[in-house]
Structure 1
Amino acid sequence: MSEASTQDQSSNSPFLVSKEKGLTIISINDAPWNMMSMEFMDELEALLPKLKADHSVRAILFTSEGSDNFSAGMNLKQLIGKAGDQAALSALFDQRLRVLSAIENLGKPVIATLFGYCLGGGLELPMACHFRLAAKEGCKIGLPEMDLGTVPAWGGSARLTRIVGRMHALDMILRAKKIDGPEAYRIGLVNEVVDNDKLKERAIELGLELATNFPPLAMSEIMPVIIKGSDMSQEESLRMEREAVLNTMGSSENQEGMMAFLEKRTPVFSDRS
């Protein structure tokens, strides 16, 4: 992360935000455990609509400060105080579902780094992202809520099942199983496994590739087709795809892409007009 690009933030902020070209980097700021506190979720919920509306933001990366853990999940001390209040619990978990859905549906590619503990919410947030990169060594990835006498609460069971299939989801959730990076790659939970000391560097490299090499309008149109289309009939998904085609044909980036192809050069996609 470039210090020059880091926004003015307190060292007590639940996350730090920096920007490198079209890539916005959000780094959880509670090392070494990087808990996702109520304050973290409040500030993240406020930030996401701004990222969605800002056309200069073309990709997002979630990582964490330090090199120990991505996130050990929710701050359980904050949760215990609400344990007997059903209305408060519902509001708290509703917010988390809203936030993760907003990440998934930003219309911009979102990347997460997984290293150290990635447990509970520390896995559920990355599963709402579109790309996941895991450290080769030391990862403990899982949804261990069964050990706490409860079940995943941030959409973990639904997303995990869709990503890795029912067999692996049952194995991980019912056994509160923690897996490492190579195993996560084997079952299709992560896109890449990277040497620990290169993980954040590789994530930034991928983020910059997505932010600078591809047409943002076309990307924002096709992402809902892929994300929502998996829960639709093929006919409905094809209709969404057709709408995306019509919304992108004739745009400035479509014209640039076609001219670059004819002129045998690399296209330059700079706006969404």
Structure 2
Amino acid sequence: MSAVLLSIKNHVATLSNNDAPYNRMTLEYMDELERLVPELGADNSVRALVFTSAGEDHFSVGMNLKQIPEGIERKGSLEAVLDQRLRVLDLIENLGKPSIATLFGYCLGGGLELPLACHFRLAADEGAQIGLPEMDLGTVPAWGGSGRLPRVAGRDVALDMILRGRKISGEEALKFGLVMETCPVTEIKARAQALGEELAKQPRLAVKGVLDTIVGFEAKSLRQSILDERAAVLLTGNTADSQEGMLAFLEKREPVFNKDD
């Protein structure tokens, strides 16, 4: 049984964790993501990615802790196991293609840290329990959660969630800016697909330019962000998509981008 179910529809790749109902982020799951994400990044026909999970019970309870001894044996050390997970999340965040995560049921530990590496997050309006409960295990988030969460939801929210091991609902996540919208769990995967298709219609190189400029802006100076934006302007300045956009504007119609893909 494959750890990740991959489907591609209307230029949107959906990667589903196939370990229902709890959808643990197993060694096999991370190996598959490390293989698939770069492949999808290199495929120009794929313009957006959705990260979700099988069933409607839980997005993910995070790492399968029972696999830690096996992971150390296979990878050589616990550090190597964790390094792979950081690599995969960095791949997702810096792929140059928009990524969407669906948060429903338990979204704990790695089940929140992976969505934090995505560019868009949707949450179920009921039943979601979102958190970084590592403190309850006597440790701290290990996949970048304590670095990304304050950048998304703010310092105080991050401290409250991590130090108290507090789980928040989808509505609280929306209030804190952790997700962009909420919807019924029965609709969340369809909503993610629709958002992916909307993003896929945008000019591919321009999307990449915006992501290259904005992702990681917290660590950049304003001048560097402006230089990154200028590079994106030059990259997209005389492309088929920019010509189509101008022509569509003059003809008062909707542009049709990515015709060459």
Q: Tell me, yes or no, if structure 1 residue 28 matches structure 2 residue 7.
A: no
Q: Tell me, which stretches of 5 or more residues in structure 2 are unaligned? A: none
Mapped contact 2:71–2:81 kept (Cα < 8 A): no
Q: Tell me, yes or no, if structure 1 residue 184 matches structure 2 residue 173.
A: yes
Q: CA shift at 1:110, angstroms?
A: 0.3
Q: Structure 1's 150 and 217: CA in aligned 2 closer, same or farther, altered over 3 A?
A: same
Where does structure 1 differ by over 2 angstroms across 4 or more consecutive aligned residues?
80-87
Mapped contact 1:217–1:272 kept (Cα < 8 A): no
Q: Superposed, which structure 2 residues align to 1:13-24 within 5 Å? A: 13-24=2-13
Give the Cα separation in 1 of the matches to 2:50 and 2:71. 31
Matched residue, 1:240: 228
Mapped contact 2:72–2:81 kept (Cα < 8 A): no
Matched residue, 1:8: none
Q: Indicate the SS of the match to 2:188.
A: helix
- Percent identity (aligned): 58
* Residue in structure 2 matching 1:109, options 88, 98, 107: 98
Q: Structure 1's 272 and 223: CA in aligned 2 closer, same or farther, altered over 3 A?
A: farther
Matched residue, 1:100: 89
Q: For 1:44-93, what per-residue CA distance to the aligned partner results, in whole angstroms no more than 9, with x for missing partners?
A: 10111111100000001011111100000000101255689996111011
Matched residue, 1:3: none
Matched residue, 1:72: 61
Q: Indicate the SS of the match to 2:161.
A: helix
**Aligned-partner residue type, residue 22 of structure 1:** H
Q: Structure 1's 233 and 225: CA in aligned 2 closer, same or farther, altered over 3 A?
A: same
Q: Indicate the SS of the match to 2:142.
A: coil
Q: Superposed, which structure 2 residues align to 1:80-159 within 5 Å? A: 80=69, 88-159=77-148
Give the Cα separation in 2 of the matches to 1:50 and 1:238. 30
Q: Structure 1's 145 and 78: CA in aligned 2 closer, same or farther, altered over 3 A?
A: same
Q: Structure 1's 261 and 118: CA in aligned 2 closer, same or farther, altered over 3 A?
A: same
Q: CA shift at 1:229, angstroms?
A: 2.5
Q: For 1:1-56, what per-residue CA distance to the aligned partner results, in whole angstroms no more than 9, with x for missing partners?
A: xxxxxxxxxxx111100011100111110000000101110111011111110000
**Aligned-partner residue type, residue 168 of structure 2:** I
Mapped contact 1:133–1:193 kept (Cα < 8 A): yes
Q: CA shift at 1:271, angstroms?
A: 4.5
Q: Superposed, which structure 2 residues align to 1:21-60 within 5 Å? A: 21-60=10-49
Q: For 1:186-239, what per-residue CA distance to the aligned partner results, in whole angstroms no more than 9, with x for missing partners?
A: 001000010122111111111111112x10110011101001323111111111
Give the Cα separation in 1 of the matches to 2:132 and 2:216. 24
Query: Comparing 17-26 with 84-93, which one deviates more in the overlay?
Result: 84-93
TM-score, normalization by structure 1: 0.92
* Residue in structure 1 matching 2:217, options 218, 221, 229: 229
Q: Indicate the SS of the match to 2:229.
A: helix
Matched residue, 1:5: none
In angstroms, what is the RMSD of aligned CA positions?
1.7
Mapped contact 1:58–1:210 kept (Cα < 8 A): yes
Query: Comparing 76-85 with 24-33, which one deviates more in the overlay?
Result: 76-85
Q: Structure 1's 195 and 179: CA in aligned 2 closer, same or farther, altered over 3 A?
A: same
Q: For 1:212-268, what per-residue CA distance to the aligned partner results, in whole angstroms no more than 9, with x for missing partners?
A: 2x1011001110100132311111111111111011100110111111111111111
Mapped contact 1:15–1:27 kept (Cα < 8 A): yes
Give the Cα separation in 2 of the matches to 1:192 and 1:126. 14
Give the Cα separation in 2 of the matches to 1:200 and 1:85. 34
